[in-house]
Chain A
Amino acid sequence: MTTAPILSVESLTKTYRSGGLFSTTPPVQAVAGVSFDIAPGETLALVGESGCGKSTIGRVIMNLTDPTSGHVVFDGSDLATLDAKAALETKTHLQMIFQDPFGSLNPRKTVRQILSQPFRVAGISNWEPRVLDLLRVVGMTPPERFVNRMPHEFSGGQRQRIAIARAFALQPKLIVADECVSALDVSVRAQILKLMKRLQQETQVSYLFISHDLGVVRSMAHRVAVMYLGRLVEIGPVEQIFNAPAHPYTQALLSASPVPDPERERTKRRIILRGDIPSPSRPPSGCRFHTRCPIARPLCSEREPILEARSADHPVACHFSDLAKADAWT
């Protein structure tokens, strides 16, 4: 990477200890030693199945929860070490959009109150025209028709537009978007994604795009990070991940994602994985994927594979990725 990354996540680990001091439930290692960078203007997609640790990474980046170990460096500084004032300043450039905009928008506030809040906190007094501008930017025109209404008076798609408008109020540099279109219908989802793409082209914002929908990821992301049970198993440029997935889990994930094309569905090679995802409180020994992996060998249950570069920009964590068929799902 030639430019400095806007975000660096370094050896991030997050362990949740449930229950009290004498609790017998084992701790959950939600994220286990994950590292990645995001460049300015770049979208990195974080994919993987339920419970693999995607949201936890987003929450640590947003400072909503502390990491057990590791660092998050945003725009050159480690958020954990900044003093309060600097942290506040930095945080205006780091925003989040959630899956359920209903949960993230205060139900008792009008759109004007919701959208002016970032300006007021930043000490900007003449915010009314900027609030109206934000609404125009996210396609809610004429804005005068919307500013006095409350969140419950909007559809899911409109609420997500308001959440996006709020995230873009103060020139964000990175937005963590956690399943931000998963709750929306196909036609509304397309509207929101189009909006997010346009805003990225206009502002050079970076996205950490958390999603389990590989169709959406292929068209939104520049690079893709694939997670399984708290571990990064593969990371690389989007077209390499989709055209030449190297990890058997990535291959299975791709082969399991149905595409809207019956002919393809009939002819594509399908990898049906055995069993369910193991519990993250008792991750399998060695490679965490070995219990479901179609090419697992004895070594896989004994030694954990490390994330190694196959090519400079495409590391993979698998002992036998040379044996995994890259064309598996085509």
Chain B
Amino acid sequence: MAEALLVVEGLNTVLNTSEGTVRAVTDVSVEIGKGEIVGIVGESGCGKSMTVMSIMGLVPSPPGEVTGGRVMFDGTDLRTLSGAEMQKTRGRRIGMIFQDPMTFLNPVLTIESQISEMLRHHLNLTKAERRERVIDLLRRVRIPDPARVVASYPHQLSGGMRQRILIATAISCDPELIIADEPTTALDVTVQAQILELLKEIIHDMGSSLLLITHDLGVVAETCDRVYVMYAGKVVEEAPVDELFRTPKHPYTQGLLASILRADERRDELYALDGTVPNLVDVPVGCAFVDRCAKATAICETAGPGWTRNSDVSGVACWNYET
């Protein structure tokens, strides 16, 4: 792996709700090297967004609380930073892209003021320099006619254009790391292809790293160098992308891959994992996947499987994983 940029160790986050304590993130360890594109993939509610929020210090509190772990970014534990210091890091050194640009973009501000605001906050530039930079950023995310678009409001743009604006904002201060949470989920597939292509190119050009959150294994295959698979709040498998798709080790990863229908092959017999994900309020004591697992043995019911590291860049949490 490349030299580490972000090292998350033993992250734990809970949400205190009226139904009980939701264990949204449990012992999550994730590492991102310089220049790498790393994916976190998993089904709805498995804790992907909460992991990101915990890394960024954005867990809503209450009901949320990060109860343990370290978030080492370029040698500093982000969890020890003050609110003001963290705010400086966000945007300046770590850029963020969300699924729904409208929650991030201010509807009453022009595109120029939105991006300028970010620049004003973090960089020491004159007004003219800022304006020039905004136009340059829009050009970099391939917005046609940037001089016109800077004056428009978010609702006047299409979903794909808004996502480009978000990318422009995220890269505005040349961050070392970009975290994108389902950046293309709301987009049509031809527009998704444009945006993923753009993201890859920009990350490559800036020499930055990307942490990409998605539920779509196709997007992972197209974009990422390495992947973490999450299930019920935990990382259950980690591997370089080729290895994960060629020789998945965890029964959940195997089941997930076997149930995806692909546009490049027709299947007459469909495969499906039985059952559903467990409720994160009372996570089973043993392996959280035990109810749905074809490989489960007695121990899986009573004890959670530890992490087996298979190499520098791959590991699995399962008592009976495929060797």
Contact = CB atoms under 8 A, between A and B. Distances in A.
Contact of B262 (A218, A252, A262): A218
A253 interface: yes
A313 B189 CA distance: 27
Interface in B134-150: 144
B218 A259 contact: yes
A215 interface: yes
Nearest to B255: A187
B266 A187 contact: no
Contacts, number: 135
A190 interface: yes
A50 B263 CA distance: 19
23 contacts: A185-B215, A186-B43, A186-B215, A187-B255, A187-B256, A187-B273, A187-B276, A191-B272, A191-B274, A212-B189, A218-B263, A219-B266, A220-B261, A242-B266, A258-B218, A258-B222, A259-B218, A262-B245, A272-B197, A273-B194, A276-B191, A277-B188, A330-B264
Contact of A259 (B194, B263, B270, B274): B263
A202 interface: no
Interface of A: 49-50, 155, 157, 185-191, 193-194, 197, 212-220, 238-239, 242, 252-265, 270, 272-273, 275-277, 330
B161 A190 contact: no
Contacts of A217: 263
Determine which residue in A193, A194, A219, A252 has the highest number of CB atoms from chain B within 10 A of its CB, and name it: A219
Contacts of B196: 258
Nearest to B184: A258
B260 A260 contact: yes
Contacts of A277: 158, 188, 190
Contacts of A214: 189, 263
Interface string B257-269: 1011111111110
A186 B274 CA distance: 12
Contact of A260 (B189, B193, B257): B257
Contacts of B158: 276-277
A199 B243 CA distance: 37
Contacts of B257: 260
Contacts of B9: none
Contacts of B272: 187, 190-191, 193-194
B221 interface: yes
A263 B221 CA distance: 8
B216 interface: yes
Contact of B261 (A155, A218, A252, A261): A218
B260 A215 contact: yes
A251 B219 CA distance: 19
A259 B266 CA distance: 13
Given A194-B270, A239-B266, 18 more contacts: A185-B43, A187-B259, A187-B273, A213-B261, A216-B261, A218-B264, A242-B264, A242-B266, A255-B193, A256-B189, A257-B189, A258-B219, A260-B245, A262-B221, A262-B241, A270-B197, A275-B144, A276-B191
